[in-house]
Amino acid sequence: MIFTAGHHQYANEPKGIKAVLTERGLYQPQLRGKCENKCNVDATDCCNKRILELREDFREQQSLVQEVIKAAGHFSSGGW
Instruction: Give yes or no for a contact between 23 and 32, defined as CB atoms under 8 angstroms apart.
Output: no
7-60 residue pLDDT tens: 999 998 989 999 999 999 999 999 999 999 999 999 999 999 999 999 998 888
Question: Which of the 8 DSSP states describes residue 24?
Answer: T
Residue 4 or 75, more confident:
4
This prediction's pTM: 0.69
Domain ranges of the chain: 2-72
Could you tell me if residue 66 is left (phi over 0), alpha (psi between -120 and 50 degrees) or otherwise beta?
Answer: alpha
